[in-house]
Amino acid sequence: MVSGRTYLTGLIGTGIGPSLSPALHENEGTALGLRYLYRRIDIGDAGLTAADTPGLIGSARLLGFDGLNITHPCKQAALSGVSALSPEAEALGAVNTVVFGDGGAIGHNTDWSGFGRSLRRGLPGAALDHVAVLGAGGAGAAVSYALARLGAARLTLLDADESRAAALAASLAPRFGGQHVGHAPLAELTPVLDRADGLVHATPTGMAGHPGMAVPADALRPELWVADVVYRPLETELVRAARKAGCPTLDGGPMAVFQAAEAFRLFTGVEPDAARMLADFERLTSTEQEDHDD
Ligand code: NAD
């Protein structure tokens, strides 16, 4: 039975044609008996830029949207399109979910909580005494924040652009006083990994359009857990090499699903079935793979 109220949501970003978010959200809405629509709003197709994000957020509110997801390259521009920020979105300086309500447009960030939930579920009991995060962009910031919230004692951030790693460490360190959040030059990656319990890879390397591996294979050893945030493909070169080296591994799929599940809950106030969304994601990605194989 479908209930009377219609939820209208969507995604603002560029190159979002292949995004699985519309299917994931709408399928979960249907499974819960909700009338739930999720629209793609591709700023590239519309001849717009990230600077137009605040205006689009305002227009979506006027048009009756309940909420929006925001993705690359609009997550920072969205900060000035909302009337208030969750403490996490403020700490991260990035919004990936906007919820419209009587209080205005509230900006949230569900990337960090999505990663935290994925790590707890996929690598339960993973040691967090020292974790290296490779890639200090938007995803690197979200996973570093999540790791610090999960109690990581020491985080070492690395990036090809060392100033980005330094800036992220400087912005997070004061928020996590008792923990050490530092950075190291990329040339130190192997010695850092020699001392670390885990590695989170958060650069675009390994995506379909950026094949390869940002970590030397000989730095992987069975005592090091490895989590990749890249999820297209799910099995990146890094995940494959880490598995081969005997490392406990986690792919980027569950992070993508759990950030979507949390956004769904914020949009509707209804708790989605995350296990069902994970199964749906696996079905959608395997169908996609079969389409490529044909
Ligand atoms: P970004 O452009 O904001 O940041 C990427 C960072 O990686 C940059 O600082 C860049 O200097 C650095 N970098 C690039 N290549 C490097 C290399 N070889 N060695 C070291 N550093 C390198 O990108 P982002 O938004 O953080 O996205 C990164 C990846 O995370 C993308 O593949 C994206 O799809 C993925 N992602 C996944 C999820 C998820 O839910 N699983 C969520 C967000 C982003």
**Out of 15-19, 31-35, 289-293, least confident range:** 289-293
| pLDDT beyond 60 at 293 | no
Element spanning 87, H or E: helix 87-92
Is the CB of 230 inside a 6 Å radius of any atom of ligand 1?
yes
CA of 173 to the centre of ligand 1 (A): 21
Is the CB of 186 inside a 6 Å radius of any atom of ligand 1?
yes
| pLDDT beyond 70 at 1 | no
Q: pTM of this prediction?
A: 0.95
Is the CB of 72 inside a 6 Å radius of any atom of ligand 1?
yes
Nearest CA to ligand 1 atom 15: 203
210 CB contacts (<8 Å, ≥6 apart)? 204
Average model confidence (pLDDT) across the chain: 95
Single-letter residue type at 140: G
Is the CB of 213 inside a 6 Å radius of any atom of ligand 1?
no
Using left for φ > 0, alpha for ψ between -120 and 50, and beta otherwise, residue 58 falls in alpha
Element spanning 238, H or E: helix 237-244
Q: For 15-43, what is the mean pLDDT? A: 97
Is the CB of 70 inside a 6 Å radius of any atom of ligand 1?
no
Q: What is the pLDDT of residue 287?
A: 78
Q: What is the pLDDT of residue 177?
A: 87
Q: Which ligand 1 atom is the nearest neighbour of the CA of 212?
A: 18
| pLDDT band with cut points at 50, 70 and 90 for residue 241 | very high
Q: Which ligand 1 atom is the nearest neighbour of the CA of 256?
A: 40
**From the centroid of its chain, how far is CA 189?**
23
CB neighbourhood size of 67 (10 A): 24
- Output b/e per residue, 215-229; b: 16+ Cβ within 10 A: beeebbeeebbbbbb
Nearest CA to ligand 1 atom 39: 256
> Radius of gyration over alpha carbons of the chain, in Å?
19
> CB–CB of 105/95 below 8 Å?
no
Could you give the CA distance from residue 62 to residue 154 in angstroms, rounded to a whole number? 45
Is the CB of 198 inside a 6 Å radius of any atom of ligand 1?
no
Q: Which ligand 1 atom is the nearest neighbour of the CA of 210?
A: 32
Using left for φ > 0, alpha for ψ between -120 and 50, and beta otherwise, residue 277 falls in alpha
Could you give the CA distance from residue 227 to residue 58 in angstroms, rounded to a whole number? 37
Q: Which is more confident, 148 or 291?
A: 148
Q: For 9-14, what is the mean pLDDT? A: 98
Catalytic residue from among 7, 19, 25, 75: 75
Could you give the CA distance from residue 114 to residue 261 in angstroms, rounded to a whole number? 8
CA of 258 to the centre of ligand 1 (A): 18
Single-letter residue type at 224: L
Q: Which ligand 1 atom is the nearest neighbour of the CA of 139?
A: 26
pLDDT digits (tens, 9 = 90+) for 32-83: 999 999 999 999 999 999 999 999 999 999 999 999 999 999 999 999 999 9
Is the CB of 60 inside a 6 Å radius of any atom of ligand 1?
no
Q: For 110-130, what is the mean pLDDT? A: 98
